[in-house]
Amino acid sequence: MAQFKDEYLGSLLVRQRLMLESENTNAVLTGYWAVAVQGDGRQVVMQAGTRSVPDYMQQTFARDMARALNSAIRHDGSWLVLWTHPCFDDGQERVVDFNMWHFLWLDEDGDPQFTIDNEDPFWLALANGELHWLEQAEYAWSQWNLMMREVLAPTEGQTYKRAQGQAPASSDTIN
């Protein structure tokens, strides 16, 4: 398998996916804060919305989970951990909480493949512990892998790499 390239983390495709994850039901961008781990261990923070910054504990959770996911179950890709749907105080001045957090897996070509969404309260995320979330992510990846690579098993001529600028052939599109 190919080695994941760090430059995929800031690609337009990834930023678009992060914005999509942060849209509310009315397709309004609510803001996000995401962290990824590069191959050399450095962490990259991405955000939309200058006020969409999680508190110290939430940032620590995201950074620790990004490090653990990319260390234990990278699967030739990369995991991003993000907080979305911020809740502001009454004066709309500062974020007091986030309604959702996610694990997003990018394949070795930098294409976002699937997201694990979570609306549980943050205290429950902490109470469940890192091992619980690693197991959840591994299970989600194994289900995605089974479906995409074994059940559907596209031939090489049917696949294309969005993150690398490839588009489907006209015969691959639905009219």
Q: How confident is the model at residue 22, as a pLDDT?
A: 82
pTM for this entry: 0.79
Q: Which residue has the higher pLDDT, 138 or 148?
A: 138
What are the sequence ranges of the domains in the chain? 6-165
Please report the sign of the dihedral spanned by the C-alpha atoms of residue 27, residue 137, residue 167, residue 149: negative
Q: Would the pLDDT of 160 be above 70?
A: no
Q: Which residue has the higher pLDDT, 134 or 164?
A: 134
Confidence (pLDDT) at 61: 95
Instruction: Give the model confidence (pLDDT) of 17-69 as tens digits.
Output: 888 888 765 555 667 889 988 878 888 888 887 667 888 999 999 999 999 99
Mean pLDDT value across the chain: 80
Residue 149: exposure state from Cβ atoms within 10 A (0-12, 13-18, ≥19): exposed
H/E element holding 112? strand 112-118
- The most confident of the ranges 85-94, 136-145, 148-157 is 136-145
C-alpha–C-alpha distance, residues 20 and 52, integer Å:
15
